[in-house]
Amino acid sequence: MWLARRGWRVTGVDFSDVALRAARELAAASGVEIEWIEADAVTWVPPGRAYDLVTVMYLQLPAHERRAALAHAAAAVRPGGTLLVVGHDRLNLTEGSGGPTQADVLFTPDDVVAEIGDLAIEKSLRVRRPVDGGAAARDAIDALVRARRPAGA
Ligand SMILES: C[S@@+](CC[C@H](N)C(=O)[O-])C[C@H]1O[C@@H](n2cnc3c(N)ncnc32)[C@H](O)[C@@H]1O
């Protein structure tokens, strides 16, 4: 939604019809047009080397499924394009706030770096995200990786 409001042509993917219905309503209320695809990110193969930017946001999957989804996401980045992965970091379980409570769906920036093939890593770090909940609330801890497919690669 954020990208579409800024003029990007956006395709959104989720396997939940409930999530997509909510997203469609939000897009309509925001006056933006987005292509929605109902698909399982583990098995769905997007067009190869086709997108300027591929974002994977808070997709918390067991490692073998995450590997498949990230490989598909990375392969969809065009030469010169960017992959941005953000999700709940493994450290969030013990030192953070919110997010899944099953350790096996949490990951680290290093996990992502190892799973996105030959893209050039521009950022790979843990980021703290303030959450509502008063002064006593702990920040959430996210894993963030930004990578680029070199032009011509
Ligand atoms: C925490 S929500 C994040 C939603 C959105 N990406 C965002 O950042 O606001 C996780 C979403 O991942 C979707 N999801 C989980 N497993 C998936 C899969 N294998 N394929 C596609 N979507 C999946 C869920 O339906 C849910 O909408």
Q: Given this model, what pLDDT does residue 136 score?
A: 72
Task: Please give all residues whose beta carbon lies within 6 A of any atom in ligand 1, as ranges.
Answer: 14-16, 19, 40-42, 57-59
Residue at 35 is within a domain = yes
Question: Do 138 and 63 share a domain, yes or no?
Answer: yes
Residue at 95 is within a domain = yes
Location of structure tokens 């996990």: 111
Question: Which runs of consecutive H residues, i.e. helices, occur in 43-128?
Answer: 63-75, 92-95, 109-115
Q: Alpha-carbon distance 48 to 93, whole Å?
A: 34
Question: If you average pLDDT over residues 15-38, what whole number do you get?
Answer: 97
Question: Do 70 and 132 share a domain, yes or no?
Answer: yes
Q: Alpha-carbon distance 153 to 151, whole Å?
A: 6
CA of 59 to the centre of ligand 1 (A): 5
Cβ proximity of 8 and 32 under 8 Å: no
pLDDT tens-digit readout, 63-105: 999 999 999 999 999 999 999 999 999 999 999 999 999 999 9
Residue at 153 is within a domain = no
What is the total count of domains within the chain? 2
Residue at 115 is within a domain = yes
pTM of the model: 0.96
pLDDT tens-digit readout, 92-139: 999 999 999 999 999 999 999 999 999 999 999 999 999 987 777 899
CATH code for the domain of 104 = 3.40.50.150
CA of 58 to the centre of ligand 1 (A): 7
Q: Where in the sequence is the domain holding 76, given as residue range(s)?
A: 41-148
